[in-house]
Structure 1
Amino acid sequence: MSQDLYRDITDFAHGTPGWVRLLAEVWTEAGLLLFGVLFLIGWWQRRGADSTMVAVAVLAPLGTAFGYVVSELLKSVITEERPCRAVAGAAPSLVACPPYGDWSFPSNHSAIAGAAAAALVLVWRTIVWLTVPMALLMAFSRVFVGVHYPHDVAAGLVLGALMAVLFVRLLTGPTRALADSMRGSGSALANWLAGPGPAVPEPPVRRRRRQAMHRRG
């Protein structure tokens, strides 16, 4: 089933215009860089939020890395051969087939994409409309260029997302405590990294006193 779908997708890929094939080849790597940029933006935006959100923003890229590590460990256990070598009669892959020993299941690119998409939603919920399509396109592109089976990328997406969410949820508490400590440390670097936190409302008595002094002045 997966081999037949792989043949259908790679045959379709060879029938697309050259610019589509080039875009797919570029996207398999460029998408990872875009996710990195989104992590930085999410962290910067959450610096003014409470320490819980700062902790989630810091843990999001680490959770993505954790998803990749778990995927890589599974690869070394399952040792599935790449379809660009194993599927008879399939169209040639659009990119070089990875060397023997760089196994196929699950797809590391898809695991990273799924992890990044899920982790970013924890940081920045309204970005789901961008991160999920990005992850799906990245996973599809790995089959499109001929280096993964469809089941490789499906498993990678799910595995990465689950591992990232689990990682962030388990470590949010300790990381929140660390962010609180950094904010109260008095260190300029620590305060910059952890952010200033939400603005504290001025007490009513102090505000009235300041307003009265301003009127007298």
Structure 2
Amino acid sequence: MDNLPTLTEGLYLDILEFARSTPHWFQRLAEVWTELGLLLFGVLFVAGWWRMRRGSADGMALALLAPLATAFGYVVSEGLKSLIDEERPCRAVAGAPASLVACPPHGDWSFPSNHSAIAGAAAVALALSWRGLVWLTAPMALLMAFSRVFVGVHYPHDVTVGLLVGGVVALIVMKSARRPVHNLVETARSSRNGAVVWCVGRGMPSHASARPEGVRHGAR
């Protein structure tokens, strides 16, 4: 682990120098994204939950699990960060250009990147709960990870490991908790408590599977 900062220090410097060469408006955009981009994942969590209120119990279970799996990804990342005291590159790399955002204080360690772990976990969780959304969530997660290096507060290996840790933890949580949460949703949907039913929705309304004979074949 001690050698990782040295191995990726050159790439960090190249990315930060590139960041410094970009237009000011682009730098500001990166600064906003790296701090507020995770909110878009939150919006997608809410949208996914809302759309499944009239969906299957399994779909609602996955929609409810998505933010929980993401939270677990963050907790694991934070646990690793507390065990591995890696100084931020904006403080440790001699001769590096100033970071675009304020360098976090000493003790707010660099490895792994919590932002990247959250983004990786959210991308995987949303992809599993909302079919086809991976084409949006994967680029969002990669952009979040890159932005942490771009603004100068993480090494490339910090964000790479963060993405992997978050994604793997989210996958494990989504797969292992799917069945029990599915059963919980089914139970909640049969509840007489209106607030509970509103939270999980009624599911897809049932329809008659067949039409009257005269309608099916046409009355003459």
Q: TM-score range by the shorter chain?
A: over 0.9
Of residues 155, 168, 173, the one that matches 2:174 is 168
Moved more, 73-82 or 165-174: 165-174
Q: List runs of 5+ in structure 1 lacking aligned partners.
A: 212-217
Identity %: 60
Q: Displacement of 1:116 after TM fit?
A: 0.5
Deviation digits for residues 96-149 of structure 1 (CA, Å, limit 9, x no counterpart):
110111000000000000000110001112111111111111100000000000
Name which of structure 1's ranges 101-110 and 47-56 shifts more when overlaid on structure 2: 47-56
What amino acid is aligned across from residue 31 of structure 2 in structure 1? E
Distance 1:35 1:160 in 2: 14
In 2: Cα distance, 1:40 partner to 1:31 partner: 15
1:47-101 C-alpha deviation (Å, 9 max, x unpaired)? 2221111111001001001000000000000111100011111111111110111
Q: How does 1:118-129 map onto structure 2 within 5 Å?
A: 118-129=124-135
Separation of aligned partners in 2, 1:178 and 1:114: 27
**Paired positions, count:** 208
Equivalent of 2:123, from 101, 117, 121?
Answer: 117
Question: Which residue of structure 2 aligns with residue 2 of structure 1?
Answer: 8
CA RMSD of aligned residues (A): 1.4
SS in 2 for 1:47: helix
Point out 4+ residue stretches in structure 1 off by more than 3 angstroms.
none
* TM-score between both structures, scaled by the size of structure 2: 0.91
Query: Where does residue 215 of structure 1 map in the other structure?
Result: none
Q: Distance in 2 between matches of 1:40 and 1:203?
A: 32
List per-residue Cα deviations over 1:172-211 (Å, max 9, x = no partner).
111111111111012211111111112223265xx649x9
- Per the alignment, in what secondary structure is the counterpart of residue 125 of structure 1? coil
Under a length normalisation based on structure 1, what TM-score does the superposition of the two structures give?
Answer: 0.92
